[in-house]
Structure 1
């Protein structure tokens, strides 16, 4: 074993991937072919979940499962994620879907659904537009709607810092102010309160009307710890999220994390580029530990957030809180095809990966769609811990992919999501 490890180190130093040398004389592609579970269909309407049973076994007793995606723009990846969510809900006892959008927006949508409204209809402008304004992305919202009157509905919530959703822009700060007023908060009498509100509104609306002044920024920085000290993490007796001190405490912290990201300033001891993910993990932790205590949660996110990268992404922070046993991180990779650009809705071609990346090895395995688990698997070959991938926007990332994800779904040819006018 020591000789093999030394050989790997020499190969890496020479710029040669250790993936060329697999266990028992098998190439990585051959090993993947022998150990894959083939995925039969991306269609959420496919009636048989047998091909997802290996994924179900892999997650074990995990309470929180994160599922990624490469760019926010692959239609068949959205479809397969929808199918996975349905499987987790129907077969594995997951009761809550947390989707990557502002926490206030998702909460408002679920409240709306309690009065009989359809989430999918109200999602545009509230839920991230690649999920709410594409046919394939909206599919999972339609599934949530279809389960509303079932014996065990799938609860929709969201976990992110505010990102210019309609509910965040229009009601977050007015509702916060009303909540604080009902508690006779001394912060409302602080001479810096209006400056705080101006800065916070700029953050919530993603600087749509321009960034705040330096004085307003400082007011937000100074008043945030004061506001946080006023509130605990409790759930209201009414059972409503909007009535809960813990919810509003998270919104104050989320605004500060959003400010850190936008203004490129550290948030306490957290670098600005990690502040959003750390706060999102805290939001998920409160939802899991307090508001939805005892329930199992599936988190819908981008690969960058769903994985554990360098110790500073959502997956890292979620594992830090829940531990490895209660967490499963699932990523997506693909070989070549096309995706829809989230910024301008144009279609971009996905080039083939360079030799030695796991996508190239998977193509060699010859399966159009597959899943592989490394969390529960025993005696994996050494190359597993040194093989790279293209998890973000089909760009090489010099970080071993199985340090970031417990398991991977492979879709050989991603196709663009279909926009809805």
Structure 2
């Protein structure tokens, strides 16, 4: 095991050497609302893009909203010349996950980097998530209306099936307990029509296909949510893993991608109690599909600080205090052993036994109650099995959201807010 103090981006050198051969590098976060995690992740990502030729960054965000950011950062026709304008399209709560000053800073850098390079060598920015059923349906209508009017019938059938539920797609999930209410057949027809375009068309056709995959994934997701338990989590993470696979195929042989998501998604679920609950995640799925040597999983965590989160699902975000990690946890041990900031690269025979044993590891979602830390917010984890490396930030500060108006809500995710 290697431990490196972090002071400047150059101190990531040992970690960059470790991930050099990986086709997919996943970089996590212990919360969705800490400035320091986003900043450290940005510094590492910049170096991966500039020094190792990464082809795209894929985030735990909606495809249509991220596609507007993508068009801006690659300088595509019609793309916003200012990435902040594109980030304003994140209107689904919690908007602060991606519409924040830290992501804006990275996207401005990425656009400047890309515009110095040929179009075919520019680094993209994409969304992996499954929530955007309504917006993805509209995007499909817009595309088929221009490119394949004959296929509009399939899109209209799918739209009519969901139409009675309006914007409350969770009501579709509840109604789908009755076979007559299900929209599976209509969605499959829509998916087949849009998939056919990808074989011979360009990025617009690929985006339409991905939007159709989102509609299909969302249909499964909302049906699964009705029953509770791990099924809806698995539908979502399998959809994100499948989207990652499609992006790697789309960018071509030898393509490399970076994933930004919560630790609970990128850290291998088999090294936690998630596996016992029947849950999988994108970190586990990527290792299984691409092989462990082709995937690098990097967690981020800290001991105390402040965070942007909400006390209840859908409520306004607040700056909250994150108390010192509880005794015996991963974070408490690292606080005692490490400097303010450091990176651990796992491997070899010299790592302490407790890195491969089970210890509680903190996870904070978009919904957070600091008082609940006495009994919640920790995932039993074998740290060196869950991640290939871990970036440590002893004291973290809150994220800086951009001004935004939330227009669309979602049902609370399982587990809460991750």
**TM-score bracket for the superposition, by shorter chain length:** 0.7 to 0.9
Q: Which residues of 2 match residues 116-155 of structure 1 at below 5 A?
A: 117-126=81-90, 129-151=95-117, 152-155=121-124
Q: What residue in structure 2 maps to residue 333 of structure 1?
A: 301
Q: What residue in structure 2 maps to residue 174 of structure 1?
A: 141
Q: Counterparts of 2:185 and 2:132 in 1: how far apart (Å)?
A: 22
**Change in CA separation of 1:187 and 1:228 when aligned onto 2, cut-off 3 Å:** same
User: What's the offset of the Cα at 1:260?
Assistant: 3.6
Q: Which residues of 2 match residues 20-35 of structure 1 at below 5 A?
A: 35=2
User: What's the offset of the Cα at 1:78?
Assistant: 1.0
Residue 418 (str. 1) matches residue 390 (str. 2):
no
Q: What residue in structure 2 maps to residue 60 of structure 1?
A: 20
Residue 359 (str. 1) matches residue 331 (str. 2):
yes
Q: What residue in structure 1 maps to residue 354 of structure 2?
A: 383
Q: Counterparts of 2:237 and 2:71 in 1: how far apart (Å)?
A: 25
| 8 Å CA contact 1:75, 1:415 repeated in 2 | yes
Q: Counterparts of 2:254 and 2:125 in 1: how far apart (Å)?
A: 16
User: What's the offset of the Cα at 1:39?
Assistant: 0.9
Q: Secondary structure at the match of 1:150?
A: coil
Q: What residue in structure 1 maps to residue 4 of structure 2?
A: 37
Q: Secondary structure at the match of 1:133?
A: coil
Q: Secondary structure at the match of 1:377?
A: coil
Q: Counterparts of 2:182 and 2:140 in 1: how far apart (Å)?
A: 15
Deviations 1:175-208 (A, max 9, x none): 3764895454774686x761245558544xx77x
**Change in CA separation of 1:412 and 1:65 when aligned onto 2, cut-off 3 Å:** same
Residue 253 (str. 1) matches residue 216 (str. 2):
yes
List gaps (5 residues or longer) in structure 1.
Answer: 1-31, 42-48
| 8 Å CA contact 2:173, 2:224 repeated in 1 | no
Q: Counterparts of 1:390 and 1:177 in 2: how far apart (Å)?
A: 47
| 8 Å CA contact 2:55, 2:123 repeated in 1 | yes
Q: Secondary structure at the match of 2:141?
A: helix
Q: What residue in structure 2 maps to residue 405 of structure 1?
A: 387
**Change in CA separation of 1:92 and 1:163 when aligned onto 2, cut-off 3 Å:** same
Deviations 1:330-365 (A, max 9, x none): 111101111111553211111112232221221122
**Change in CA separation of 1:175 and 1:318 when aligned onto 2, cut-off 3 Å:** farther
Q: Counterparts of 1:40 and 1:217 in 2: how far apart (Å)?
A: 60
Residue 162 (str. 1) matches residue 124 (str. 2):
no
User: What's the offset of the Cα at 1:85?
Assistant: 0.8
Deviations 1:83-137 (A, max 9, x none): 1110111122212111221112222332354136222222123386224432223
Q: Secondary structure at the match of 2:292?
A: coil
Number of equivalences: 370
Of structures 1 and 2, the larger Rg is shown by 1
Q: What residue in structure 1 maps to residue 342 of structure 2?
A: 370
Q: Secondary structure at the match of 2:43?
A: helix
| 8 Å CA contact 1:68, 1:331 repeated in 2 | yes
**Change in CA separation of 1:202 and 1:258 when aligned onto 2, cut-off 3 Å:** farther
Which is further off, 132-141 or 405-414? 132-141
Q: State TM-score, norm by structure 1.
A: 0.77
Q: Counterparts of 2:206 and 2:65 in 1: how far apart (Å)?
A: 15
**Change in CA separation of 1:257 and 1:118 when aligned onto 2, cut-off 3 Å:** farther
Q: What residue in structure 1 maps to residue 203 of structure 2?
A: 240
User: What's the offset of the Cα at 1:231?
Assistant: 5.7
List gaps (5 residues or longer) in structure 2.
Answer: 270-274, 365-372, 404-418
Q: What residue in structure 1 maps to residue 245 of structure 2?
A: 285
Which is further off, 249-258 or 351-360? 249-258
Q: Secondary structure at the match of 1:160?
A: coil
| 8 Å CA contact 2:306, 2:322 repeated in 1 | yes
User: What's the offset of the Cα at 1:408?
Assistant: 0.7
